[in-house]
Amino acid sequence: MMTALTRVATTSASAGRRAGLAVALLAALGLAGCNTRSPETTGSIGDRGARAPDARKEVESLAERYNANPGDARTAIAYARALRATDQTSQASAVLQQAALRNPRDTVILGAYGKSLVEVGRYREAIDVLANAHSPAAPDWRILSAQGSASAQLGEQTRAQGFYEAALKIRPNEPSLLSNLGLSYALSRNLDQAEQTLRLAADQPGADARVRANLAMVLGLKGRFADAEAVLCRDMSPEEAATNVASLRKLAAQPNRSKALSGAGAPGQG
């Protein structure tokens, strides 16, 4: 979205990274996006699986606190975060919806709720909520990124790019923003601009393997498979890189690849 491109449960950190990258690239073939998680979410499903009992206890504890005082905005946010950490995204969004109804002027709550709407695919509603989550006088780059994600998912790429560009003025060279912007350019069929932006994203100190997978995808779409494979080999074995490049070759060979891309997905949250 533009959230990791995808999340994969594994039994070890290194295996999780390799498997995640392999599936991430396949998801990228549909432009599922670089960062499907919103800024509050960290870690991988593999990490969450390792601490599943603790996560469940945290959910139960926060549920008690929330039910005792559902109007407490900060408890609602903590409860929603814990629900999302256990893959209960719809429930998390419902909690934040109630919190937003009780705290209609709390921009932190509105921002969290709006981003949760993006995560569950309610993009038009997300745009309406996020519009009230910050002001032009005090813009929040994370909210702008979420607005871009919602717009991109709706196919409104020019509008999405405007949000990402505005966010980059606040957070220059943020790799997640650059990656989402690059994917939006790709959805707009501007592969040269997409490559340039994704290369800049990949060059940033905070860039991770997901950003590089997105760059490899665009290189593959341009027919530069050797370059794409070289990028992928930074984060996966030669065999895994070759398998993903083979998938890129199939996508690049499709006569209606632009239609396939735009119908398969769009950038996620940064």
Is 173 domain-assigned?
yes
Which two three-digit tokens encode residue 95?
Answer: 């909690």
- Per-residue pLDDT at 251: 83
- Per-residue pLDDT at 268: 62
Packing angle of the helix pair 157-170, 175-187 (nearest 10 deg): 160
Question: Could you report the average pLDDT of every consecutive run of 10 residues in the chain (270 residues)?
Answer: 31 42 45 36 34 80 94 94 94 96 95 96 97 91 96 95 98 96 94 97 94 94 95 94 91 70 54
How many Cα neighbours within 13 Å face the side chain of 187? 32
Q: How far is CA 175 from CA 20, 37, 202, 241, 261, in A?
A: 19, 14, 7, 22, 22
Is 3 domain-assigned?
no
Domains identified in the chain, total number: 1
- Per-residue pLDDT at 259: 57
Q: Among 120, 34, 121, 117, which residue's Cα sits nearest to residue 131?
A: 117
User: Residue 77 sits in which domain range?
Assistant: 13-264
Q: How many angstroms separate the CA atoms of 166 and 67, rounded? A: 38
CATH number at residue 165: 1.25.40.10
- Per-residue pLDDT at 120: 96
Is 270 domain-assigned?
no
Phi-psi sector, 33: left (phi>0), alpha (psi -120 to 50), beta: left
Which two three-digit tokens encode residue 78?
Answer: 């903590």
Total residue count of the chain as it appears in this document: 270
Checking 99-108 for CB contacts under 8 A at 24+ apart, the result is 99/70, 99/71, 99/73, 100/129, 102/70, 102/71, 102/73, 103/71, 103/73, 106/73, 107/132, 107/133, 107/134, 107/140, 108/73, 108/77
Is 247 domain-assigned?
yes
Is 227 domain-assigned?
yes
Is 155 domain-assigned?
yes
Is 17 domain-assigned?
yes
Is 30 domain-assigned?
yes
- Per-residue pLDDT at 270: 57
- Per-residue pLDDT at 56: 85
Q: How many angstroms separate the CA atoms of 90 and 267, rounded? A: 20
Phi/psi of residue 138, each to 5°? -140, 65
Q: Among 103, 101, 133, which residue's Cα sits nearest to residue 115?
A: 133
